[in-house]
A and B are shown apart, each in its own frame.
Chain A
Amino acid sequence: MQATHTLNGAGAAPVFYDDGSHHPQQGTLLGFWIYLMSDLLIFAALFATFAVLGRSYAAGPSGADLFDLKLVAINTALLLFSSITYGFAMIGAQQGSKKLVLGWLAITGLLGLAFVGVELYEFAHLIHEGANWQRSAFLSSFFALVSTHGLHVSFGIIWLVVLMVQVGKLGLTVENKRRLMCLSMFWHFLDLVWIGVFTFVYLMGVL
């Protein structure tokens, strides 16, 4: 009786915990975020491996002997610029401008390609000097970590091109905006992992 009185008394509307506020309409973005978290675990394992093996040179070259920080700085700049150009593509999507989205995505893709190109040049140079992944535990863990990141960027570029075709054909539909959002998270996440790589592998490697 007490409860009924409280609910209906004085004409007060019943109070529900569900206030009609947002709940995810579909789990894609959250699911994709959780995929990225699993990716973070992969990179954490590779970083941990590098932390253990990164100073085991087996009388071979060390990071100080091998790394060209100017090249790494260029690569870092390329990836950071590609992050902001992807951001501009997202703003284009928010404004509903297909032209802006395609233009900024193209620039982002080219910056990504330049990043992968510089990285492949670096790898080729290292291997040419005999500093391949079989030389020492340090180089094994170096190539495992850095090339896993490079591989992610490469697949990101393939995804980006596919998405440009889809946006070009179908326009900025809800589905395409969702895909753009997922790739946005992926792309920025790779930039985030690169912070760990350039700090932990390259900068600390030469110290």
Chain B
Amino acid sequence: MGAQNHGHDDHGHHDDPLAEYHVSYKGYIVGFLLAAILTIIPFWLVMAKVLPADMTKLIILVFAAVQIVVHMVYFLHMNGKVESGWSMLSLIFTVVFVAIILAGTVWVMYHMNINMMPVHDMNSMR
């Protein structure tokens, strides 16, 4: 789908909104199988209580992150080339923004909770 593939004879491209996204059974089935595996393992880890809770939390978060990438690539057909890269640019911007919202909120609220706890000995605040 690179620029080199789009010659002037590529007329069908301008009519068909699907032309830029070459969807195929193979792509969807690979994505589906990966997503299924990446879903079943976290559910199994939690439901069967295989590992200690803290380790399980860490692992399922990693699985979720990987599965989000799988969905992006195989289902949303996201790459650096669709829409001349503008989709990817807006995605990166939003992800950075979201990371700041989430990390910032959790960080601020955690520290606020700690500091708002009733303090019996005010001298310990110094």
Contacts and interface: CB of A to CB of B under 8 A. Distances in A.
B29 A84 contact: yes
B15 A188 contact: no
A51 B105 contact: yes
Interface size class of A (residues with CB under 8 A): 35 or more
B121 interface: no
Interface string A84-112: 10011011011000000000000000000
B102 A93 contact: no
Contacts, number: 143
B7 interface: yes
A40 B94 contact: yes
B18 interface: yes
Nearest to B4: A21
Nearest to A39: B94
Interface in A7-34: 19-25, 28-30, 33-34
A142 interface: no
A197 B47 CA distance: 16
Specify the main secondary structure of chain A where it touches its partner.
Answer: helix
Contacts of A30: 83, 86-87, 90
Contact of B43 (A22, A41, A69, A191): A69
Given A41-B97, A195-B67, A80 B35 contact: yes
Contact of B18 (A19, A22, A181, A191): A181
Interface in B1-59: 3-4, 6-8, 10, 13-18, 20-21, 23-25, 27-29, 31-32, 35-36, 39, 42-43, 46-47, 53, 56-57
Closest 10 CB pairs of A and B: A87-B28, A21-B3, A199-B64, A188-B75, A48-B105, A44-B98, A37-B94, A178-B17, A84-B32, A30-B83
A203 B67 contact: no
A47 B104 CA distance: 13
Given A80-B36, A178-B17, A191-B75, A196 B3 contact: no
Contacts of A52: 105-106, 109
Contact of B101 (A45, A90, A191): A45
A54 to B, nearest CB: 11
B90 to A, nearest CB: 5
A22 to B, nearest CB: 5
Given A41-B98, A51-B105, A20 B6 contact: yes
Contact of A48 (B24, B64, B106): B106
B38 to A, nearest CB: 8
Nearest to A185: B76
A41 B57 contact: no
Contact of A203 (B21, B60, B84): B60
Contacts of A40: 94, 98
